[in-house]
Amino acid sequence: MFHHDDELQYEVEVAEPDPQFAKMLQQAIGGAEGEMRVALQYMFQAFAVPAEKAEMRQFLMETATEELGHIEMLATAVSKNLEGASDEAREAAREDAVIDEMMRSGQPRQALSSGLHAMPVDSNGVPFTGNYVVASGNLAADMYANIMAESTGRLLATRLYEFTDDPGMKDMLEYLIARDTMHQNQWHAALDALGEHRPVPNSFDQDKENQEFNYTFMSTAHEEREDPEQPWTQGDAPDGKGGVQQLAPAARRR
């Protein structure tokens, strides 16, 4: 069960409405890096957590609910950037100023289909898809997916930050970027708390793997190349269960 409060998680203000920026903000709502993705991702991951790991289920659900609040913040930002057009645009297009500005710099559907409000789409107007959601049923695999999701989400937010001079939008994005920082750290901490988990899944008996290839970096070059002496071609594997080596092209083709 969810409980909603009319107060935003963090206040959203827009000094100068900007339909073009509203269009860009849609990526942070319904895009592959957006808040709809992580909210549903953490929620469906939580649904799969067994009863004996109740603290992990709560952990995921609390973050999923926080992400729902981020969607609300961004939807508010989109609406505030779409409401009303600049005086210049009104003078240029007279009675159709908002539509004219939307056609030139925003998404016409936001005027035609949603009455100048946010939609569950990305910045190109493509509807959100559940294909973005990763919920494998394996906690370690999901934590890695969550780190990636928060990393790309933070990258998107920092890029949006560079595209606006509006102090209110910068303030909102500074908050969202800060939360992405925390979420990256908490998923890393969750991985550490899981203990031994590599390779994922670690429940499979590694003795059944082909032992010739399970810790071998395969060079795909046609000609022989010297070992670059990098961590992925020599030394101990990060999981501590084998020593990595490079497989030469000739050996690979036999």
- pLDDT tens digit sequence for 3-27: 899 999 999 999 999 888 999 999 9
User: Does residue 223 belong to any structural domain of this protein?
Assistant: yes
pLDDT tens sequence across 216-246:
999 888 888 889 999 999 999 999 999 999 9
Q: What does the alpha-carbon distance between residue 52 and residue 178 come to, in Å, rounded to a whole number?
A: 32
Last residue of a domain, one of 172, 194, 216: 194
Do 141 and 232 belong to one domain? no
Q: What is the arithmetic mean of pLDDT over 64-71?
A: 98
Do 91 and 62 belong to one domain? yes
Last residue of a domain, one of 146, 172, 194: 194
What CATH number is associated with residue 120?
1.20.1260.10
- What pLDDT does 93 receive? 42
Both tokens assigned to 103: 């056609």
- What pLDDT does 90 receive? 44
Do 160 and 249 belong to one domain? no
Q: What does the alpha-carbon distance between residue 37 and residue 133 come to, in Å, rounded to a whole number?
A: 6
Q: Model confidence at 2, in pLDDT bands (50, 70, 90)?
A: confident
pTM, 2 dp: 0.88
Instruction: Find residue 247's DSSP bridge partners.
Output: 218
Angle at 193 between CA 189 and CA 194, to 5 degrees: 120
- Examine the pLDDT at 94 and tell me if it is beyond 60: no
The full DSSP string for 176-206 is HHHHHHHHHHHHHHHHHHH-S--SSSTTS-G
Instruction: Taking the CA atoms of 96, 98, 102 and 107 in sequence, report the sign of the dihedral they define.
Output: negative
- What pLDDT does 113 receive? 81
The number of distinct structural domains making up the chain is 2
Residues 155-193 as b/e (b if ≥16 CB within 10 A, e otherwise) read: ebbeebeeebebebbeebbebbbebbeebbebbeebbee
pLDDT tens sequence across 165-197:
999 999 999 999 999 999 999 999 999 999 999
- The type of residue at 177 is I
Q: What domain range is 214 assigned to? A: 207-253
